[in-house]
Amino acid sequence: VKLIMPTVVKIAKNYQTKGISFIAISSNDASAYPADAPEAMLNEALRQGFTFPYLIDDTQAVAKAYQAACTPDFYLFDGDLACVYRGRFDAATPGNNLPVTGSDLTAALEAVLKGEAVNEQQIPSLGCNIKWKRV
């Protein structure tokens, strides 16, 4: 997430002007990982300049309902609230030296705005596993 966050914020700001809403949700176990606690996440959201809600999934019910696997995991819903995209932001990962562009997500966003079908070939996100609570 740290690698792509400035570009995520930039893309969110751009597409919010086109009528797309964005929401970020943290589902990590904050009690076991204090760096992911709400206060720390609020500071990060302010530092990054989030222009969208940043929610805390303390029970992890949202992550489970959407079968989220890692951070970040991107979902795009159309005007009928059907999930039309679940995939990566782009091909950049820490260490592969590819530029962070958001190309995969923006292609899906553009398709939705044009009323076109989103490409069915969607590559899953790669990132840190969600820090699940121990039961």
More confident residue, 135 or 69: 69
pLDDT at 116 over 90: yes
> What is the rounded CA–CA span in Å between residue 13 and residue 25?
17
Share of the chain above pLDDT 90, in %: 96
Going by pLDDT thresholds of 50, 70 and 90, the confidence category of residue 135 is confident
Per residue in 83-103, pLDDT (tens digit) is: 999 999 999 999 999 999 999
Nearest by Cα to 107 from 128, 126, 91: 91
Going by pLDDT thresholds of 50, 70 and 90, the confidence category of residue 127 is confident
Nearest by Cα to 114 from 84, 88, 86: 84
pTM above 0.85, yes or no: yes
Structure tokens given for 67: 């079968």
